[in-house]
């Protein structure tokens, strides 16, 4: 039985980006006191020199190693070196690969990074995510002209999470908050209304969301931001602006972000099919 430690560093090795291995390790760590653990991810391990460096550091820190490595020579070297230094190791992929090989009666490809092949689709996704971050919350109205979809609505109508969710579906999304005291950017009125989606919400639902938000920030729930008078003022202004824009409107009061995102995605897909 190993000696009890106050803190353990888990070295996560992969010959790809290492996301799979890290997620598995995080799932295991969640069952313990997470403050007692540290994860160090080492991606793109393709040579024995990198393995030796990690082994040496893990030995000094009395750490452990988890890995997803499909290249046989590197995988075997990790196992051999870890055993030589009496380091605990966990091979995440090999047991499953062995079972599948037996069932399918064919050898694995042993090619690293297949799950994250850097094809055109992958780059489009990354570009869309970066776009959503750059043009979030009306930061730069120039994004409106370049966006596939522009979301408009009052504060706390899920514009930001919707932008990110749709970005993972390869759509470039900008979002603009509607505030009575601030005139919407003129770019909003110069693009096709088909590219603009308005988000509306019931006053009661918005009041609950904003009240909880204030509590989370340690502020008083009766702040003007969450009062029904202010909310109704904002919603009236928002409705008027959406009518000026002539955009489609989705009521998000009783919808999860995923549900709203799927509705928007289907609308965009339908339009693209009609145009093609």
Residues 142-187 have pLDDT tens digits of 999 999 999 999 999 999 999 999 999 999 999 999 999 999 999 9
∠ at Cα 105 (103, 109), nearest 5°? 105
Query: Structural domain boundaries of the chain?
Result: 8-116, 120-275
CATH number attached to the domain at 120-275: 3.40.50
* pLDDT (0 to 100) of residue 58: 95
Partners of 175 in beta bridges: 151
pTM of structure: 0.60
* pLDDT (0 to 100) of residue 80: 95
Percentage of the chain with pLDDT > 90? Answer: 70
Dig out the tokens for 185 from the structure: 């950017």
- How does residue 110 score in pLDDT terms, banded at 50, 70 and 90? low
Q: Using an 8 Å Cβ cutoff, are 37 and 27 in contact?
A: no
18: left (phi over 0), alpha (psi -120 to 50) or beta: left
Length of the chain: 276
* Whole-number average pLDDT of the chain: 91
Establish whether 16 is an annotated binding residue.
no
Q: Can you tell me the distance from the alpha carbon of 235 to that of 57, in angstroms, rounded to the nearest whole number? A: 58
Establish whether 157 is an annotated binding residue.
yes
Establish whether 142 is an annotated binding residue.
no
Establish whether 153 is an annotated binding residue.
yes
Q: Where are the alpha helices (DSSP H) in the chain?
A: 19-29, 48-60, 72-84, 94-104, 120-134, 142-146, 159-167, 203-216, 228-245, 257-275
- Let me know if the fold of 8-116 is the same as that of 120-275: yes
Establish whether 160 is an annotated binding residue.
yes
Dig out the tokens for 42 from the structure: 């080492």
Establish whether 159 is an annotated binding residue.
yes
CATH class as words, domain 8-116:
alpha beta
């Amino acid at each position: 039985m190993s000696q009890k430690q106050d803190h353990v560093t888990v070295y996560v090795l992969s010959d790809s980006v290492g996301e799979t291995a890290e997620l598995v390790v995080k799932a295991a760590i969640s069952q313990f006191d997470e403050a007692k653990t540290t994860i160090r991810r080492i991606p793109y391990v393709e040579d024995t020199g990198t393995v030796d460096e990690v082994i040496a550091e893990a030995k000094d820190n009395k750490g452990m190693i988890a890995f997803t490595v499909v290249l046989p020579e590197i995988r075997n070297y990790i196992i051999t070196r870890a055993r030589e230094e009496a380091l605990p190791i966990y091979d995440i992929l090999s047991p499953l690969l062995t079972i599948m090989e037996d069932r399918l009666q064919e050898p694995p490809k042993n090619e690293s990074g297949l799950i994250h092949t850097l094809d055109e689709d992958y780059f489009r996704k990354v570009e869309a995510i970066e776009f959503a971050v750059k043009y979030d919350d009306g930061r730069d109205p120039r994004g409106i002209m370049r966006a596939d979809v522009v979301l408009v609505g009052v504060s706390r109508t899920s514009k930001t999470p919707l932008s990110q969710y749709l970005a993972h579906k390869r759509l470039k999304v900008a979002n603009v908050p509607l505030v009575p005291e601030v005139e919407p950017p003129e770019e909003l009125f110069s693009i096709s209304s088909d590219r603009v989606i308005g988000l509306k919400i019931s006053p009661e639902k918005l009041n609950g969301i904003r009240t909880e938000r204030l509590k989370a920030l340690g502020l008083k729930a009766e702040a003007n931001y969450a009062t029904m008078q202010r909310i109704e003022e904002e919603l009236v202004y928002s409705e008027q602006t959406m009518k000026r824009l002539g955009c489609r409107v989705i009521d998000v009061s009783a919808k999860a972000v995923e549900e709203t995102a799927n509705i928007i995605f289907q609308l965009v897909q339908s339009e693209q099919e009609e145009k093609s």
